[in-house]
Copies of this chain bind each other. A is one copy, B any other.
Amino acid sequence: MTREGQQSQLPGDSRFFTRSGPFSLARLLEVTGAEALGPATAETLFEGVAPLHAAGPQHVSFCDNRRYLPLLETTGAGLVVLGPAFVDKVPKGCTALISREPYLLWARVARLFHPAPPVQAKCHPTAVIGQDVKIGKQVEIGPFAVIGDGVSLGDGCVIGAHASVGDHVVIGAGCRIGAHVSLSHALLGERVVLYPGARIGQDGFGFAVGPEGFETVPQLGRVVLGDGVEVGANSTIDRGSMRDTVIGAGTRIDNLVQIGHNAQLGRCCIVVSQAGVSGSTVIEDFVTIAAQAGLIGHIHIGRKARIGAQCGVMNDVDAGADVIGSPAMPFREFFRNVATLRKLSRK
């Protein structure tokens, strides 16, 4: 099995993914509400999805990044999902599926061809289930999962292999708890997804200096995850000390992210991998925190602010602001500084 041989394969390897279809253009238009432009007819069938460079006439592909226009111009795909601006780059013989939200459209087309496998109502015989556990309908519990006393699992939850759910944790309907997750002192809304190895609810980093070393300050809050929150692999969210650590509905957290105790994130924030939010910091709705950025504790980030990659935020950030650099400053100032310093160094 060579690297090249593996690479040439199309996405959706049937060993790992479910498949559906084929689907007619008519069906794709119905599902997506998009507009088609090109030679395909309502009855033309498509068998699956493929990237621009590998797609054939039976495939649906996708382009929304100017960087990949050369691939669009030469693609063999039968159908391509894209925005209006790229329509004139579609080669002859290929039909454009046009949307002002092409990535969203693409998500739905790809999901149509590769639906998520249904949840199987079963509890692996090796799982350890505590006392007074409430288990909803159609719940799947994997091998070696540990469910503590008094836990509540909503309908349609999936608990992965080796997951550890502490006593009295509440998990809403439709949640997916990945393999090896540890979860304690927490209340989860609906459709929360925790990726493998996420650590939710452990003690925050709180201690006082005592006469014989550090003394731990009891961490008496919880972690509250709103509906639809996702937390990436090996990320860590500490529970609060005196209030809860709260992640608002719809917020997506990538891998290896740290969220400190008492932090409050609003709705639909994005926190990219390896970023860190220190304790007691408050982040309003729709904030984006790029990769490897760090926020100190006890600050306030306004709604729709954008924190750049590797940014070091030591002060409050206004709503709608774009900041980058360490210490953080407006994007324009940062890049002006870079240019100034380069110029001065060359003298």
Contact status B345-A337, CB under 8 Å: yes
Cross-chain contact A197 with B199 (CB below 8 angstroms): yes
Within 128-167 of A, Cβ neighbours of B (below 8 Å) are at 128, 142-144, 146, 150, 160-162, 164, 166-167
A155 → chain B, closest Cβ, in Å?
15
Interface of A is mostly: loop
Q: Smallest CB–CB gap between A343 and chain B, Å?
A: 9
* B294 and A309 form a contact (CB under 8 A): yes
A246 contacts B by Cβ under 8 Å: yes
Given A258-B255, A274-B258, A298-B65, A16 contacting B168 (CB threshold 8 A) = yes
- With contacts A162-B180, A220-B49 known, is A255 near B238, CB below 8 A? yes
Residue-wise interface mask of A (246-277) relative to B, using a CB-CB cutoff of 8 A (1 in contact, 0 not): 10111010111010100000011000111010
Picked from B107, B209, B256, the residue with its CB within 8 Å of the CB of A207 is B107
**A35: interface (CB < 8 Å):** no
Instruction: Note all chain B residues with C-beta closer than 8 A to A216.
Output: 107, 230
B268 touches A296 (CB 8 A): no
Identify the stretch in A7-15, A22-30, A36-44, A88-96 within 8 Å (CB) of chain B at 4 or more residues. Answer: A7-15
A238 (CB) vs chain B CBs: closest residue: B255
| CB atoms of B162 and A255 under 8 A apart | no
Q: A298 vs B288: C-alpha distance in the bound complex, in angstroms?
A: 19
Contact B292 A294 (CB under 8 A): yes
Q: A3-B226, A62-B242, A276-B274 are in contact. Are A327 and B338 (CB under 8 A)?
A: yes
A residues with CB within 8 A of B: 1, 3, 6-7, 9, 11-13, 15-17, 49-51, 54, 62, 65, 67, 101, 103-104, 106-108, 110-111, 114, 116, 124, 126, 128, 142-144, 146, 150, 160-162, 164, 166-168, 170, 172, 178-180, 182, 184-185, 187, 189, 195-197, 199, 202-203, 205, 207-210, 213-218, 220-222, 224, 226, 228, 230, 232-234, 236, 238, 240-244, 246, 248-250, 252, 254-256, 258, 260, 267-268, 272-274, 276, 278, 291-292, 294, 296, 298, 309-310, 312, 314, 325-327, 329, 333, 336-342, 344-345
Known: A144-B144, A291-B294. 15 other contacts (CB 8 A): A6-B246, A15-B150, A103-B217, A104-B215, A107-B210, A111-B218, A179-B182, A182-B197, A260-B273, A292-B292, A309-B312, A310-B326, A329-B342, A333-B342, A341-B341
Q: Can you spell out 26 A-B residue pairs with CB atoms less than 8 angstroms apart?
A: A3-B226, A7-B246, A11-B242, A15-B167, A16-B166, A16-B167, A16-B184, A101-B210, A104-B210, A114-B218, A128-B143, A162-B162, A162-B180, A195-B203, A205-B254, A205-B255, A213-B250, A213-B268, A214-B250, A214-B268, A233-B236, A234-B236, A236-B273, A273-B278, A309-B312, A333-B342
